[in-house]
Structure 1
Amino acid sequence: MNLSFEKYHGTGNDFVIVNPDACVPHRSRFARRVCDRTDGIGADGVLFLALEPEFRPPRVIMTLVQPDGSTAEMCGNGARCAAVWAAERANADEVMIDTLAGTRHAKIHDGGATIEMGAPEFGPNDVPVAGDEPLIETRVGDYDVTAVNTGVPHAVAFVDDVTAVNLERDAPPIRHADVFPEGANVTFASPCDGGFDQRTFERGVEGETQSCGTGAVAIAAAARRLGLTDGENVSVSPPGGDLEVTVDDRNATLTGPVEREFGGDLRVSNAGRLDLEA
């Protein structure tokens, strides 16, 4: 199998982009191979994008397959990368992105994109969590967490210093806790000058990522719910860069930079070997 690809990242959250016109019959297996950072290209996911430029604004259908082979409903940084990719091809400054979490509007600006993220949901059926009440500042594992769905479920824990958290040890018990029947991303946040620092252990990646857009929105939404911020504009700083979030009861937006890293051709042998020509 031969196909062309491109590599993009949003604040360090990196993705291999493949046009679904290419024949990839086993997307889960393909993503596991391609995302491998030792034997593959290395990425936090594969974005299969189908552009429909005849619409105004243009539309792009986005499917994100993660390194473990699962499909994610939504990815904020992935959607921003998809928006820039689509806008460049359609010669547009805004696009509509169809995701499994719904259709999202994105605006392109110099160096990046702003995307609508929908309304954060705290309801037990929306996250989802086990039980009849929202999970707000509730002990799970070794932390008090607040559960919110920002396209995917997040367990948000506010701590004094995110750099002091042993993420690989402390996040998995929360990610797999019985209270989260579909699992959850685990996001830690600590206050910093003008906003919050962020670290996220992502479901599907099963490890820490340099940035997580849905996690940044989850921090802003949880902070607003808990009274930790009194404004609608929140700055969030994951390890890979800075993101800006606006959030109210009806909608949230995510703004940040997007960069194209490189492109190339990929040959996948029947034995599963990847031959890359970048």
Structure 2
Amino acid sequence: MSDTITKTFIQENTVLLNDYLKRHLPEDIANEQLSSAMQYSVLAGGKRLRPLLLLAMVKTFGGSINESTLKVAASLELLHTYSLIHDDLPAMDDDDLRRGIPTNHKKYGEAVAILAGDGLLTLSFEWLATAGLNTNTTVKLTRDLAQAAGAAGMVAGQVSDILGENKQLTFKQLKQLHRQKTGALIKYTALATNDIVNPEVDNQKLLIQFAESFGLAFQIYDDLEDVVGTQQALGKAVRKDANEHKNTYPGLRGVPQTILDLKKCVQYCHQALSKLEKNHVSTELLQGFLNYFQLDEEEK
């Protein structure tokens, strides 16, 4: 039942998010070439997982999906897309494909790609500031997004990833890298929900626990997909991590143990949701998001 509820929610709200981005993104960009480059990456598709998860959390705790919450969710997608554009650059991962099409710098050149990423990063905070929420909520959202995306979160994780190439990190260091590089923005979905809806304190903590475990599971799953997935299915090059001597779960732990690590993270997600259920919170919608981590039979 939760799977059906979640699939319907994702289908309906992906349409809303894509429509919002398509309508409003061009309005806030003053240069035609910059506008083209920014829209190219944002509107190229993608799962919209982070904004959808945020909206699902808001709905779970009785909040409304309206223009304000849509703009908050869309601002997160802008910031995530900026990180992908910069991550693909020759100075970092040097990728040719993203979401099944040429990466931004392959299409527009490195200079415009860097500036397109800069534009999306700053515009994400402009959208937060103009989402129509009260001042206190806006300040909290801005603080939480800055911390998640910045020098204590995603950017710190990216630096650790780059500096860790050709070195073997410990398991503890690898988990910390993943929590920062990928997990921080996913944890933000819970922080943002708490800022907007303000659930009871115990439920706020449980939602953060769910998001933290989900974020780590997401990166572990991504590591696995790089090993066992295909370029056609993922829309990007595969097996690059091993070729570039990056630190990954399969590289450090082996595929069988990585699958067990993934299952443990998903179990932690279920445990947090179970505790929310005991607090009389319906979690069917969020439970359905855990189906993202389905493994093929041969992978199990």
TM-score, scaled to structure 1: 0.29
Q: Which has the higher helix share?
A: 2
Q: Which has the higher strand share?
A: 1
TM-score, scaled to structure 2: 0.27
